[in-house]
Structure 1
């Protein structure tokens, strides 16, 4: 079984004549004005700082620092939470505040502030929860009863009647938050918070520069958490990438080296696909504190060993993901016809990996909301799992309609975590499917957005370099996709494992192209021999071997592309 073929929509009907036209039309068709697509200028972050609770959080924290209070930092176990905790720990280290401790919960404990960390923090008078805490009533209540102030810096969905009793909550998703930009992740919010904390300290602990160390951590967390790279996130990600490429933070430089990125320019894709998975592998395969230890390491040799350890964990993670996906592939083929959702469980599945697998299920098997559940050990009393949604389908709302069947749940519109008793999986799967059946059918057909038509003979170095100014690419700002009609393509050679990939060339313009995993598709579309005309959907990338731009073929239509007339999908 494979998802239905993507339906393509053309966002801009105008045809460019040169590179400047291309840039103007892409920006216009995406609605990327200066508010959504600001220059990467750190001074512009000031406009995003009117966040509910931000000033109060800074003053509460500054008061405890001046008193010398014990401070407990809790960060979530993913890349966003760990880079947030690393920033605050680094700041306290820089100002000489030694009375601090850090707790990174293991995935087996479930999402949120772990109660055991609060109970063990006898000498702490302040808890700072990063990337968690908004709805963590039990742990936050326990901390308040012990006389602790609690500052929560988070970006998860806010449910007003379930809010934890924090001293102060900083969360742009709170309905009373005046910030016009709601899409910061916690790593970005933490950096903004540190600018206000530094000001609240009013020079009592010297002036700590929030330099490339902090910027690189905030940038990695922002890119890794898949938040839209527009508005303030564009500035944070862009500044973070600049710091990364300048080797501003030694531990991240060691991670880059271990990931084979030492001599390559690091862009958002390298962070998302090579660096962040290594940081996340610590929590998925063992103890997330190992990633925190790397990001706060002061000794280069210790950082090198930790980076290599995370690389080994990531390799194990990749093998386990392949095994789980192969298992699911057989189970879905047995009977997914007509369904809009997938809900599967297996006590042998690692709960730390099922979120990654859920995304692959959507890409390869069934395009719709996916819930995969595993267990911490074969006799565990509950299943824990991950939920992944599709654009336009609010999975947070869907889970709220099933909440009576869940032990614990929380997350975003596009992703969530759940805890479920094994004997309730079947009834939950039925209800979850029933909710999805009430949504519009078109949501469950994958759609693709083409920015504009572009003749291959316009693809040159000038255009490639102009498009680089649109980076960093990611959620909310993907790399532009173009359409060229009736291109005479010549298949040159297959390459890669089992000859899965195909090198091509546009016979008219001579522009090279590559069709990743497209060799079988090309062979099925007609006999070999001379050039074949086709409508080509493509991105533009750099060919290191030829030292020129090339077409990265996304889809191919020898029969002509059947463009849809409905509005293009959101990013």
Structure 2
């Protein structure tokens, strides 16, 4: 799928110093505000509806010695949120606590067994779930428990759970100007207010690098925008990770092959977070929670190695499902895809849905699996594309859904087997009402760049824009009339390309570019236009180009909106 490219800034930089200024200008950002990432700036993000009441509620239960039950989701955001709360309660010496994480087989939300197993607790704290869990929360309240919910999923006002206090920036009455914190970030901010509410009764507990690194891990993994408060939090968390502030995560870094490297947001997203998520996807998320809260290095090392093995199995499962999808997919004249198979692991289909969007169909994708081959109910994941609110689309398909929930870009669904075709039809009909332009892949170039400017100085300048992620991607550049030399394939299945840029001596890679090269570019020896990022080559210890697209016919761009 070829992308449509837009150009953010038409002015071409003359010096290395011009590049950062023009990238910021192309994105409509001010250097003196965007480039600041002091932790003290998070103070401006504490005006959440219910935050102080939530802190006071939990403080009362702590001081009173109540049993406290923490329930998190089974993904990295939920697990890191639960781990932060458990660490805090451990740090202040509150032993009367327990943590329960649902399995994917139990489904999203507060599981029934949590209420049964912890009915003696006075407070239930639900993190990364709970907003719409009306039945479970009502059952807890009936047993005399207070319920505190810290969540970031979409709010449906008429379906809110009857919590004692709900903290969710997406609540229509929440005054917070920034709505995009995930639960790991919200939990860290909540702990600053809880510590204040305790007023020194349990000593001064530093919310140090352990908490910051966990909050950053959950934030990066949940793919929320890395802007404003999230950018500040992640920047601090990455510093803590690189300082090895939290021993369990140091062991996770080692099994992920990150030892001795400067860990960046992309390393967390592609190497660390998948190993945490693998536990919930393949079995029991408690294994990941045990790692994140481990106190002994030997225990942490064993658990990290265990998660690494689980992640390898996860990768094999994803490859099998992706191959199944390739043999079944029919995208002619369709904007959406819905496929179900009882042999697919429901914990893996979300990963496959994202890959399908990247390789086969740029549009909303819903893939459904089942807990057993004989199951009459499918569970699955839905992934959307920018600009298309899949949560709203699913609300219009609710007649065919047993359960659904999530946010604009991703959601989970449960569908009875006999309703899958009807759901697929309605899902497509709703997408047909949207603007056709939403379903064309697009890319945004920050500015045109002369390759003579590429070097260590430019790389250092651009590092000020990190951490990169959703809504703050790494800068993308365009160079005209480049000539490739020394092209060779490498990697598994010889899928990647490595080469030099003639006349510049700049090394470059084109990940998964071998197929495109063989089909479209191999016979072209003349100059081409290139779209690329500037990354660091650990092997050569110097900057390199990471190619995104090549255009032998020249690139035609249009202004960004």
Unaligned ranges ≥5, structure 2? none
Partner of 1:481: 476
Q: Please give the residue correspondences for 1:458-469 in structure 2 after superposition, counting only pairs within 5 Å.
A: 458-469=453-464
Cα separation, 2, equivalents of 1:430 and 1:275: 37
Tell me the distance in 1 between the aligned counterparts of 2:415 and 2:147: 29
Distance 1:36 1:444, change over 3 A: farther
**SS state of the match for residue 558, structure 2?**
coil
User: How far 1:34 sits from its partner (Å)?
Assistant: 6.5
Q: CA shift at 1:351, angstroms?
A: 0.4
Work out whether 1:292 is the aligned partner of 2:289. yes
Maintained 8 Å contact 2:447/2:478: yes
TM superposition shift of 1:86: 0.3
> Which of 421, 431, 434 is the matching residue for 1:436?
431
Contact 1:16 1:25 in 2 (8 A): yes
Q: How does 1:19-34 map to 2 (within 5 A)?
A: 19-33=16-30
**What does 1:174-189 correspond to in 2, within 5 Å?**
174-189=171-186
Which runs of no fewer than 5 residues in structure 1 stay unpaired?
A: none
Of 532, 535, 538, the match for 1:538:
532
- CA pair 444-170 structure 1, distance change in 2 beyond 3 A: same
Q: 2:488 aligns with which of 486, 493, 498?
A: 493
Provide TM-score, normalisation by structure 1.
0.96
Instruction: Give the alignment partner of residue 446 of structure 1, picking from 435, 441, 454.
Output: 441
Relative distance call for 1:255 and 1:545 in structure 2 (3 A) is closer
1:50 paired residue number:
47
- Which residue, out of 252, 255, 258, partners 1:255? 252
Q: Which residue of 1 aligns with 2:557?
A: 563
Q: Which residue of 1 aligns with 2:344?
A: 349
Match of 1:107, SS? Answer: coil
- Note the C-alpha offset of 1:469: 1.1
Counterparts of residues 125-136 of structure 1 (less than 5 Å): 125-136=122-133
Query: Which runs of structure 2 are paired with 1:288-367 in the superposition (5 Å)?
Result: 288-332=285-329, 335-367=330-362
Once the two structures are TM-superposed, the CA of residue 387 in structure 1 deviates from its matched residue by 0.4
Task: Tell me the distance in 2 between the aligned counterparts of 1:307 and 1:527.
Answer: 43
Aligned to 2:79: 82
Q: Which residue of the partner structure matches residue 191 of structure 2?
A: 194
What's 2:69 paired with? 72
Tell which deviates more after alignment, 538-547 or 103-112.
Answer: 538-547
The 1-side partners of 2:176 and 2:311 are apart by 37
Distance 1:527 1:270, change over 3 A: closer
Residues 226 and 475, structure 1, Cα contact 8 Å, conserved in 2: yes
TM-superposed CA distance for 1:375, in Å, is 0.5
Cα distance, 1:550 vs. partner? Answer: 1.4
Residues 6 and 448, structure 1, Cα contact 8 Å, conserved in 2: yes
Rate the CA distance shift 1:453–1:44 in 2: closer, same or farther, 3 A. Answer: same
RMSD between superposed Cα atoms in Å: 1.4
Segment drifting more, 351-360 vs 502-511:
502-511
Q: 1:159 aligns with which of 143, 156, 166?
A: 156
| Cα separation, 2, equivalents of 1:9 and 1:406 | 38
Residue 493 of structure 1: CA displacement? Answer: 2.5
Q: CA deviation at 1:69?
A: 0.4
3-state SS of the aligned residue for 1:12?
A: coil
User: SS at the partner of 1:108?
Assistant: coil
SS for the counterpart of 1:105 is coil
Q: How far does residue 470 in structure 1 lie from its aligned partner after superposition?
A: 0.8
Whether the aligned pair in 1 keeps the contact of 2:35 and 2:465 (CA below 8 Å) is no
Partner of 1:418: 413
Asked if residue 554 in structure 1 is aligned to residue 548 in structure 2, the reply is yes
Cα displacement (A) at 1:538: 0.4
Q: Distance in 2 between matches of 1:411 and 1:186?
A: 13
- Residues 10 and 563 in structure 1, CA contact (< 8 A), matched pair in contact too: yes
8 Å Cα contact 2:264-2:467 kept in structure 1: yes
